[in-house]
């Protein structure tokens, strides 16, 4: 289980995260929605220590630390248990798809190269890119690059995969192939914490949807409840605007 207590992150004098409490059960798929600039991505980055929080406590399995006192060993342990999928793929341009997936296993997990490459080939097969093992990122579509990024996270066998708006940098034609892979992981009950603007994904796949605003969790619940009968006026206002925009975009002109 992953547990966050009283998580605070400030940039200058602004509290981007203002006392976040969150528990994630093994196999749970949680989707975080909310306006831009409300701390959603910062929450993920703090769980992975890409940003150092200013206060709070983090529990991941048997790791239990005050985030302000986390040692380098604690941070490395947290990163081994929280694989990260970035908005902009974050692949090594000078490494093939296979090498990008294997890199973390070699550098972080200290696997022998042959073992890491064998694991990477298994992952490429699972994500439908076995024929792209020797391809460099520049020769891959945006959707393929993001699938490699997800494959890298899968290879780590982390307790939770953190998805930071994984479709936001994609052209529309590549969005569905990435969402399809994420849905596959959800069916396999891979624990996931997903920040996204894809409301249909949140409604169809999530076990729980969290609405954040102003660095706080305003409301959370099963998707049927949160989308069908939101209790907080801020949630209702956000969903009304976002869903109206998506309907307009989907309407043929």
- Asked if residue 187 is part of any domain, the answer here is yes
Beta-strand pair 160-164/192-195? parallel
Length of the chain: 253
- How many structural domains are present in the chain? 1
Local structure of 154: helix, strand or coil: helix
- Asked if residue 16 is part of any domain, the answer here is yes
Beta-strand pair 192-195/29-33? parallel
Between the alpha carbon of residue 175 and those of residues 36, 79, 181, 196, 232, the distances in Å are: 20, 27, 10, 12, 30
pLDDT in tens, the chain (253 residues): 899 999 999 999 899 999 999 999 999 999 999 999 999 999 999 999 999 999 999 999 899 999 999 999 999 999 989 999 998 889 999 999 999 999 999 988 889 999 999 999 999 999 999 999 999 999 999 999 999 999 999 998 899 999 999 999 888 889 999 999 999 999 999 999 999 999 999 999 999 999 999 999 999 999 999 999 999 999 999 999 998 766 444 445 4
Cα 208 from Cα 28, distance rounded (Å) = 8
CATH number (domain holding residue 53): 3.40.50.300
- Asked if residue 216 is part of any domain, the answer here is yes
Sorted by sequence, the CB contacts under 8 Å of residue 61 that are 6+ apart come out as 1, 81, 159
Cα 246 from Cα 224, distance rounded (Å) = 18
- Asked if residue 83 is part of any domain, the answer here is yes
For residue 59, what are its two tokens? 């529990």
Handedness of CA 133, 135, 138, 140 (dihedral sign): negative
Q: Which residues pair with 161 in a beta bridge?
A: 83, 192
Q: What is the DSSP string of 183-224?
A: HHHHHTT--EEEE-S-HHHHHHH-SEEEEEETTEEEEEE-HH
- Asked if residue 228 is part of any domain, the answer here is yes
Q: Which domain holds residue 225?
A: 2-88+161-250
For residue 132, what are its two tokens? 């792209």
- Asked if residue 190 is part of any domain, the answer here is yes
Cα 210 from Cα 214, distance rounded (Å) = 13
Place of tokens 């891959």: 140
- Asked if residue 133 is part of any domain, the answer here is no
| Residue 251, pLDDT score | 47
User: CB of 101 within 8 A of CB of 124?
Assistant: yes
Cα 160 from Cα 154, distance rounded (Å) = 10
- Asked if residue 128 is part of any domain, the answer here is no
| Residue 214, pLDDT score | 94
């Amino acid at each position: 289980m992953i547990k966050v207590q009283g998580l605070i992150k400030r940039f200058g004098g602004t509290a981007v995260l203002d006392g976040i409490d969150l528990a994630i059960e093994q196999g749970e798929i949680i989707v975080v929605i909310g306006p831009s600039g409300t701390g959603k991505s910062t929450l993920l980055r703090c769980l992975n220590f890409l940003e150092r929080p200013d206060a709070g406590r983090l529990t991941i399995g048997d790791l239990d630390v005050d985030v302000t006192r986390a040692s380098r060993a604690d941070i490395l342990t947290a990163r081994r248990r929280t694989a990260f999928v970035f908005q902009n793929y974050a692949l090594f341009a000078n490494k093939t798809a296979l090498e990008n997936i294997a890199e973390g296993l070699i550098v972080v997990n200290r696997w022998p190269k042959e073992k890491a490459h064998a694991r990477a080939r298994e992952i490429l097969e699972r994500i439908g890119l076995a024929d792209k093992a020797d391809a460099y990122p520049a020769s891959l579509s945006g959707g393929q690059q993001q699938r490699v990024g997800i494959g890298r996270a899968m290879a780590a066998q982390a307790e939770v995969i953190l998805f930071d708006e994984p479709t936001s940098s994609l052209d529309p034609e590549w969005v569905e192939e990435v969402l399809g892979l994420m849905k596959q992981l959800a069916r396999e009950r891979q624990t996931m914490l997903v920040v996204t603007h894809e409301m249909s994904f949140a409604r169809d796949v999530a076990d729980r949807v969290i609405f954040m605003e102003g660095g706080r969790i305003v409301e959370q619940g099963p998707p049927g409840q949160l989308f069908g009968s939101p209790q907080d006026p801020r949630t209702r206002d956000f969903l009304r605007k976002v869903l109206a925009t998506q309907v307009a975009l989907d309407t043929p002109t």
